[in-house]
């Protein structure tokens, strides 16, 4: 592993309580992610990939252990503090794009900037840059409901990078796309990683998608199984 440590998970546990039943997803999991990494996480359904990503993104709290981001602890932050931390540091990309149907492409991309103190002209510039990066400058005023899946995911990527976060968290970003479109999206993520230095953590079922990453971790029943830990 090279570079500065971005994430450090120290014996993180996660237990869900369902009625009287306790389901342990993770038991004392250790994990670290370096700045500039492009990590793919694979594993069977129910192995805890989304849960792990949620904990990395601070939308879910571990029930035990510690999560460090840039050497400061984040799992103990309050809901409001976490929201601000997410807005500043993380871009999210979802399987089903999760765009706002009442906003056009540019307004969707602008959404995270409404959380900043940027002026409208600064916002406009950032949105233009992000849209240009994903190759959708000419679709800025289109409604996203009229776009193809690949285009929608590109809008989502633009939204994720518009506030220039260090880290992108992607949960099966190509799960809903055909091979060709998926390759376009993955190349784009690779570009963001290589050229713009974004650290990326991507959950995927698809080995071909994982091949775009620098390294792949295989998760099974809450533990990383050593398959091909090429780092």
Partner 1 sequence: MTFLKNIIGLIFRGLGLALKYIFLTISSPVWLPFWLIAYLVEHIAFVRNALIATDLYLPFKNMERTPLRFALTVFAIFIAFLIYGALTAFDNAMNAGVDLAADDRLVTVNKINFTQTLPIAYAQKVTAIEGVDSLVHMNWFGGYYKDPREQVITFAVDQTKLLEVYGDDMLLDETHHKNWLRNQQGLLVGELVAKKYGWKVGDRIPLNSNIFSKMDGASVWDFVIEGVYSGKFKQADTNGVYFHYKYFNEALAFGSNQIGWLGIKTTDPSINEKVIKAIDDMFVNSPFETETVPEKAFNKSFIARMGDIGLIVTSSVSAAFFIILVIVGFSMALAIRERTNEIGVMKTLGFTSRRIFKMVLMESMMLACLGGTVGLAASSFVIKQVTSSPQFPLAGLMLNGEIIMQAIILMVFLGLITGIVPAINALRLNIITALSRR
Ligand X SMILES: Nc1ncnc2c1ncn2[C@@H]1O[C@H](COP(=O)(O)OP(=O)(O)OP(=O)(O)O)[C@@H](O)[C@H]1O
**CA–CA dist 75, 46 (Å, integer):** 23
Q: Is 140 near partner 1 (CB under 8 A)?
A: no
Give me the sign of the Cα torsion angle 106, 96, 207, 165.
positive
Minimal CB distance residue for ligand X? 50
List residues binding ligand X (CB under 6 A): 16, 18, 23, 25, 43, 45-51
**Pattern 61-100, partner 1, x by CB under 8 A:** ------------------xx--xx-xxx---x-x-x-x-x
Closest CA relative to residue 162, chosen from 124, 197, 193, 212: 124
**CA–CA dist 178, 181 (Å, integer):** 6
Q: Is 15 near partner 1 (CB under 8 A)?
A: no
Nearer to Mg ion by C-beta: 51 or 104?
Answer: 51
Among Mg ion, partner 1, ligand X, none, what does residue 46 contact (CB within 5–8 Å per kind)? Answer: ligand X
Q: Is 170 helix (H, G, I), strand (E, B) or coil?
A: strand
**Pattern 20-59, Mg ion, x by CB under 5 A:** ------------------------------x---------
Q: Is 54 near partner 1 (CB under 8 A)?
A: yes
* Number of CB atoms found within 10 A of residue 1's CB: 9
Give how many residues touch partner 1 by CB under 8 A.
Answer: 26
Q: What is the four-CA torsion angle of 159, 162, 163, 169, rounded to 10 degrees? A: 50
- Residues binding Mg ion (CB under 5 A): 50
């Amino acid at each position: 592993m090279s570079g500065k440590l971005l994430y450090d998970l120290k014996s993180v546990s996660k237990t869900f309580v369902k009625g009287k039943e306790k389901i342990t997803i993770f038991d004392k999991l250790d994990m670290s992610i370096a700045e500039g990494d492009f990590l793919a996480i694979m594993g069977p359904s129910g192995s805890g990939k989304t849960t792990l990503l949620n904990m990395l993104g601070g939308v879910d709290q571990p029930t035990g252990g510690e999560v460090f981001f840039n050497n400061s602890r984040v799992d103990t932050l309050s809901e409001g503090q976490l929201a601000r931390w997410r807005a500043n540091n993380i871009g999210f990309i979802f399987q089903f794009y999760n765009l706002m149907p009442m906003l056009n492409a540019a307004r969707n991309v602008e959404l995270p900037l409404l959380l900043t103190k940027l002026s409208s002209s600064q916002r406009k510039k950032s949105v233009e840059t992000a849209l240009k990066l994903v190759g959708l400058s000419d679709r800025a005023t289109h409604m996203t409901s009229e776009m193809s899946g690949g285009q929608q995911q590109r809008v989502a990527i633009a939204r994720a990078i518009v506030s220039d976060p260090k880290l992108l968290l992607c949960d099966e970003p190509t799960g809903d796309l055909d091979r060709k479109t998926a390759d376009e999206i993955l190349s784009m993520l690779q570009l963001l990683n290589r050229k713009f230095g974004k650290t990326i953590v991507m959950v995927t079922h698809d080995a071909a998608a994982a091949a775009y990453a620098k390294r792949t971790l295989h998760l099974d029943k809450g533990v990383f199984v050593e398959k091909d830990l090429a780092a």
